[in-house]
Structure 1
Amino acid sequence: MSDPALLTAIGAISGTSMDGIDVSLVRTDGDARVETGPGQCYPYAPALRDQLLALIADAPRAEHGALDDLEAAVSDAHADAIAQFMTEFSVDRASVRVIGLHGQTVYHRPEKRFTRQLGVGARVARALGVDVVNRFRHADVAAGGEGAPFAPLYHRALASRLEQPVMVLNLGGVGNVTFIDGETVIAFDTGPASALLDDFVLKRLGKPYDEGGRLAGSGQADAAMVASLMKHPYFDRPAPKSLDRNDFHAWAKAVESLGDSEGAATLAAFTVASAADAVRHVPRPPVRWLVTGGGRLNATFMRLLHDALGVPVEPVEAVGWNGDFIEAQCFGYLAVRSLRGLPLSLPTTTGVPAPMTGGELWRAA
């Protein structure tokens, strides 16, 4: 018999790569109890992805533009993806209490107290006949928080039965960590992750990323250059703190003077050095690191992290988590927290002045 304390939620998010919409299912009480379900990614139509990429490249329009038609298209793409997911995995719509619709971030400037994610909650709720929570980050940013990262409380729930302290490292375009030690949760962006290396490999070889870390693994890092890169003032800033995907590109321009393999190796070493430096900003060293995000598939990142940290460093799959869909699951989880009036962010995760509730509820009818 199902536990009435656990609500079924579906989370949906499209990341900064805009490759597609990740959809996943969770059953949760919005606190420490989580049962994860299936996940799937549904690509954007190429024309819609091209429109979104063009928008991201036009910051004034992304911030101020009237985007009604584009937002409607993004909303419909999310609704279609969720409907396809429910059909594919035989999810009864009547069993789904809420959908957590993160949508598509197109502009995020917490220093301006402004963030913009495309996705009309009311439109998706009507299309699917299921209540929707969206606009998760807005209250945090309006109150002076960074509005990111937003997965730490979900990480805490997943890690509740693990030996602690544990560090969850997400290697996306930017690296971020969640330090978990009982009720203590500290989160912040560590520095560059895959963005610098991806863009370097695209420019040099015309490939979207360094598959498996092979190019970086074949070269010798320039240790002096890595040491110079680590002098960026960001690393001495106290946590919590956050970054934009491209914040380190100008700083790392010197790498362009290196050959392909040496440049890739140097950027990989810089990524790992910045992640390892995170230990300076937490109360005590973690006994274990769990790595999520696409960077966990980069064998060079993983080897260098293990060498630098001296404790177990493993992909999150080692503890039964699904690294491809943690973020989608997270927004299903946060939707349940929002329904229950529980905080979505903390002073130690986003720098918000006090534990902050958030999200906006849109009824199906």
Structure 2
Amino acid sequence: MSRVISKTGVVAALGAMSGTSLDGVDAAVLQTDGHQIHGFGDTGYRPYSDAERAVLRKALGQWHGPDVDAAAELVTFAHAEALSEFDQIDLIGLHGQTLAHEPRGRGTLQVGDGDGLAQALGVPIVWDFRSDDVAMGGEGAPLAPFFHFACAKWIGATQPLCFLNLGGVGNLTYIDPSFDGPEASGALLAFDTGPANAPIDDLVQARLGQPMDRDGKIARGGAVETGALERFLAEPFFARMPPKSLDRNDFARMVGLVSELPDADAVATLTAMCAAGVAQGMAHCPKPPTRVLVTGGGRHNPVLMEMLRVSLDCPVEPVETVGLNGDMLEAQAFAYLAVRVARGLPTSCPGTTGVSALVGGGVVSSTRLA
């Protein structure tokens, strides 16, 4: 392929993210040199249909076989549709769809054919971001923290703060912006806080045939079952020191804790579990953060946001309050990481994934460096 990515300077990178909430493909353009954010470009969204979500759900937790093959084909097709809407792009960062994540066991699996998409779209693609990190002893997640550091610099932060992503799983990034770069020891600490939207979505889908608790309306009408909440917080995961990560279904059994509750009480309790996991995680921050900026679908749930504000000792705000796009932040993150991989820069470090050394994971398809 003739496309050339320069070793320096600002490029237009397109990031694509299909998250554990299984809602669709987010795509976003970022202007960056792999260090600083120089601008935000166009965004796009390609939703999954109910039938497509069913294909993906069927493959969750599997490592190979016909269900995984079907999911991989679907993810590649959906990304081709989403990414073909953009032009004048220098590089694409393809996260793919996580089907299984077991960093201390079988590894990590994201489906989506980077080689095939690079050929079809005529643009170099960086993909398989997590495998190298896991191979070097890391959790392979979360990977957005290096981008969160760049965002903290972009908004002019001078005091420690946190980014909280509430997708299917929750993850927290603690940032000390007094450091020059994200790879510096002490600049970042990141880890999964626990389940977020996934169990709520799964329960609402199973019981009511709805994809989510839109605007927290179901939870608002319910009461939290404190016994179930206490049993949830007794899980060994919360006693582990970070960095640490979760698979989407690691806490699938928590739905069993609310199985006997009425719909509204069950959803309210699952929502409280998400907030309580975050509150437990905040105790790991090296210094008290001055604010928590929330991204991901969970920030649209006012009940969850209220629970977080009650639980945490600092302001809790959606990232839009500082001029960022919470629906596209993860897609933008993989645009940023793609440029770093293409230029040989690290994308994770001991403080973000527990990896043994700085690592710039990712497979580069059809890219030549000038």
Give TM-score scaled by structure 1 length.
Answer: 0.89
For residues 10 and 204 of structure 2, what CA distance do their matches in structure 1 show? 45
The partner residue of 2:19 within 4, 15, 24 is 15
Q: Tell me whether 116-125 or 292-301 shows the greater mean CA deviation.
A: 116-125
1:279-337 Cα deviation digits (max 9, x unpaired): 21111111101111111000001111111113211111111111111111111100100
The corresponding residue for 1:35 is 39
The corresponding residue for 2:173 is 178
Q: Tell me whether 252-261 or 315-324 shows the greater mean CA deviation.
A: 252-261
Residue 215 of structure 1 deviates from its aligned partner by 1.7
Q: Where does the alignment leave 5 or more consecutive residues of structure 1 unmatched?
A: none
The corresponding residue for 1:195 is 198
The corresponding residue for 1:56 is 60
Q: Secondary structure at the match of 2:21?
A: coil
For residues 246 and 230 of structure 1, what CA distance do their matches in structure 2 show? 17
Residue 209 of structure 1 deviates from its aligned partner by 1.4
User: For the structure 1 residues 37 and 239, does the alpha-carbon distance in structure 2 shift closer, same or farther, using more than 3 Å as the test?
Assistant: same
User: For the structure 1 residues 152 and 245, does the alpha-carbon distance in structure 2 shift closer, same or farther, using more than 3 Å as the test?
Assistant: same
The corresponding residue for 1:155 is 148
Confirm or deny that 1:128 pairs with 2:131: no
The corresponding residue for 1:229 is 232
For residues 331 and 266 of structure 1, what CA distance do their matches in structure 2 show? 33
For residues 5 and 158 of structure 1, what CA distance do their matches in structure 2 show? 18
Q: Secondary structure at the match of 2:321?
A: helix
Matched-pair contact (CA < 8 Å) for 1:63–1:116: no
1:85-100 matches, cutoff 5 A: 86=86, 91-92=87-88, 96-100=89-93
Identity %: 46
Matched-pair contact (CA < 8 Å) for 2:228–2:269: yes
Q: Tell me whether 281-290 or 245-254 shows the greater mean CA deviation.
A: 245-254
Matched-pair contact (CA < 8 Å) for 1:99–1:132: yes
Confirm or deny that 1:290 pairs with 2:293: yes
For residues 76 and 142 of structure 1, what CA distance do their matches in structure 2 show? 28
Matched-pair contact (CA < 8 Å) for 1:170–1:176: yes
Residue 20 of structure 1 deviates from its aligned partner by 2.2
Residue 133 of structure 1 deviates from its aligned partner by 1.1
For residues 355 and 99 of structure 1, what CA distance do their matches in structure 2 show? 22
- The residue type equivalent to 1:75 in the other structure is T
Q: Secondary structure at the match of 1:16?
A: coil
The corresponding residue for 2:223 is 220
For residues 142 and 344 of structure 2, what CA distance do their matches in structure 1 show? 19
The corresponding residue for 2:159 is 164
Residue 64 of structure 1 deviates from its aligned partner by 6.0
Q: Secondary structure at the match of 1:243?
A: coil
Residue 122 of structure 1 deviates from its aligned partner by 2.3
The corresponding residue for 1:111 is 104
User: For the structure 1 residues 44 and 202, does the alpha-carbon distance in structure 2 shift closer, same or farther, using more than 3 Å as the test?
Assistant: closer
Matched-pair contact (CA < 8 Å) for 2:101–2:246: no
Q: Secondary structure at the match of 1:112?
A: coil
- The residue type equivalent to 1:228 in the other structure is R
Give TM-score scaled by structure 2 length.
Answer: 0.88
User: For the structure 1 residues 197 and 20, does the alpha-carbon distance in structure 2 shift closer, same or farther, using more than 3 Å as the test?
Assistant: closer
Residue 248 of structure 1 deviates from its aligned partner by 2.0
Q: How many residues align?
A: 351
Confirm or deny that 1:80 pairs with 2:81: yes
The corresponding residue for 2:5 is none
Q: Where does the alignment leave 5 or more consecutive residues of structure 2 unmatched?
A: 1-7, 180-186
- The residue type equivalent to 1:24 in the other structure is A
Matched-pair contact (CA < 8 Å) for 1:177–1:189: yes
Residue 238 of structure 1 deviates from its aligned partner by 0.2
When the two chains are superposed, the root-mean-square deviation of aligned CA atoms in Å is 2.2
For residues 229 and 73 of structure 2, what CA distance do their matches in structure 1 show? 44
- The residue type equivalent to 1:164 in the other structure is Q
Residue 364 of structure 1 deviates from its aligned partner by 6.2
For residues 56 and 300 of structure 1, what CA distance do their matches in structure 2 show? 28
Residue 73 of structure 1 deviates from its aligned partner by 5.2
Matched-pair contact (CA < 8 Å) for 2:93–2:335: yes
Matched-pair contact (CA < 8 Å) for 1:113–1:142: no
